[in-house]
Amino acid sequence: MRAHTVGAVQQHFNVTSAKKLVLHVPPMAEQRAIVEVLGALDDKIALNERIRETTLGLARACYEESGAGGEPEFIRDLAELFDGPHATPQKTETGPWFLSISSLKNGYLDLSESAHLSEEDFPRWTRRVHPQAGDVLFSYETRLGDAALMPSGIRGSLGRRMALLRSKSATISGSLLLHAYLNPAFQEEIKRRTVHGATVDRLPLKEMPGWRISLPAQGERERLSAKFDALHASVTQGANENRTLADLRDTLLPQLLSGQLRVKDAIRTVEEVV
C-alpha cells in the first residue's frame, strides 16, 4: 500500500491503484479452521456478556423487591459528589483510562467505549477527584439517568460531562447507591430536575446534594450491600476475562493469516482459556 501512496505534503492512498494490490490469503479450508478457532473465543465473550446482563438484571430485581420506598434522604447525607474535568486531554494508545459517558451502560462500565491518557497527564486530570472502586459514575449532560459502578483494578479519570457519588456510610456500598440511582423513582426525580438547554439537557450539579433519594430500611442496607457487591464483583471478573479473550483473538488472527502460527497450535492456546 505504501508503494501506491501519493502526495508530498498530505499523503493518501490512490484508490484507483487498489486493483493492482496482491492479497495473500490462506486456502479456504484453512480459513474455515481459523474462523472456527477464533469463533470459540467470540462465543465465550458472548456468553460472558449474557451472564453480565442476567446478573445486573438480578441486582435490579433484588433492589425493587427490597421495598426501597422509605422516607427519602438527602444525597448530601449519604454521599459526596465530585465532577470531572471540563476539557479533554491528549488521547494515547495505552495508559490510564479517560472514562467516557458512552461507557455508562445501565450499571455497567464498558471500557471499550473509553480512551486512554498518558501517565504524565494523569495527575492533572485527577486533580479534582481520583475515581475509586465503588464510586457511582454518572453523566450530568446528554446521557442523563445513566450510571455505572467504578470497578476495582481500574486506574482512570472522569471524562467530560461525568461526575461521581462516593458513599459516606459503611452500611451503604457503592453498588447499593448505584441501584438507588438507577431505580425508577430516582429516574423520575432526574427527569423532573433536568435543565433543558438550547443545545444539551443537563443536571444542576450544585443543587444535586439537596435532592432526596430513597434507600431500603436501615436493617436491610448491609445485607443488600453485601449481595450487590458480590454480584458486581462477578460482573467485573467477566469483563476482565472478556478483555483478555479479545486481546488473545486480536493477537492470534494476524499470526494465523500470515502463517506465523499453525491452526493446531492456536487450538491448544484457545483450549487453555475457554
- CATH assignment of the domain containing 238: 1.10.287
Q: Is 239 a residue whose pLDDT tops 70? A: yes
Number of domains in the chain: 2
Query: Based on the number of CB atoms within 10 Å of its own CB, is 181 exposed (0-12), middle (13-18) or buried (19 or more)?
Result: buried
- The Cα–Cα gap between 216 and 83 comes to 26
pLDDT digits over 34-49, tens only?
Answer: 999 999 999 999 999 9
What percent of the chain has pLDDT above 90?
A: 68
Domain match, 175 and 270 both: no
Domain match, 200 and 83 both: yes
- With respect to residue 249, please indicate whether it lies within any of the assigned structural domains: yes
Domain match, 167 and 60 both: no
Specify the higher pLDDT residue, 13 or 203: 203
- pLDDT value at position 274? 81
Q: Report the relative pairing of strands 136-139 and 147-149 from DSSP bridges.
A: antiparallel
Domain match, 163 and 261 both: no
Domain match, 211 and 228 both: no
- With respect to residue 187, please indicate whether it lies within any of the assigned structural domains: yes
Choose the weakest-confidence range: 81-85, 225-229, 270-274.
270-274
Q: Is 20 a residue whose pLDDT tops 80? A: no
Q: How far does the chain reach from its first CA to its final CA, in angstroms?
A: 36
- With respect to residue 20, please indicate whether it lies within any of the assigned structural domains: no
Specify the higher pLDDT residue, 26 or 140: 140
In the chain, alpha helices (H): 28-65, 75-78, 122-125, 174-182, 184-193, 218-258, 263-273
Which amino acid, 123?
A: P
- The Cα–Cα gap between 121 and 119 comes to 5
pLDDT (mean) for 168-175: 92
Give the residue numbers spanning the domain of 253: 26-67+216-274
- With respect to residue 4, please indicate whether it lies within any of the assigned structural domains: no
- The Cα–Cα gap between 201 and 143 comes to 9
Specify the higher pLDDT residue, 54 or 2: 54
Domain match, 79 and 191 both: yes
At 257, the pLDDT band (50, 70, 90 cuts) reads confident
pLDDT (mean) for 122-126: 94
- With respect to residue 3, please indicate whether it lies within any of the assigned structural domains: no
- Using CA atoms, how far residue 246 sits from 44, 53, 61, 173, 200, in Å, is 10, 19, 30, 31, 35
- With respect to residue 105, please indicate whether it lies within any of the assigned structural domains: yes
- With respect to residue 9, please indicate whether it lies within any of the assigned structural domains: no
pLDDT digits over 140-166, tens only?
Answer: 998 999 999 999 999 999 999 999 999
- With respect to residue 13, please indicate whether it lies within any of the assigned structural domains: no
- pLDDT value at position 109? 95
C-beta of residue 103 within 8 angstroms of C-beta of residue 160: no
Report helix, strand or coil for 263.
Answer: helix
- The Cα–Cα gap between 38 and 33 comes to 9
CATH of the domain at 143: 3.90.220.20
- pLDDT value at position 70? 66
Choose the weakest-confidence range: 63-72, 162-171, 205-214.
63-72
> Which one, of 143, 183, 140, lies nearest residue 161 by Cα?
140
Domain match, 89 and 209 both: yes
183: CB partners within 8 A, 6+ apart: 63, 64, 68, 214
Domain match, 236 and 146 both: no
Range among 61-65, 68-72, 204-208 rated most confident: 204-208
Domain match, 163 and 62 both: no
Report the chain's mean pLDDT, rounded to a whole number.
91
At 114, the pLDDT band (50, 70, 90 cuts) reads very high
Domain match, 81 and 210 both: yes
pLDDT digits over 176-229, tens only?
Answer: 999 999 999 999 999 999 999 888 999 999 999 999 999 988 888 999 999 999
Which residue, of 215, 237, 252, is where some domain finishes? 215
Domain match, 119 and 162 both: yes
**Dihedral over Cα of 63, 169, 98, 187: its sign:** positive
Domain match, 140 and 88 both: yes
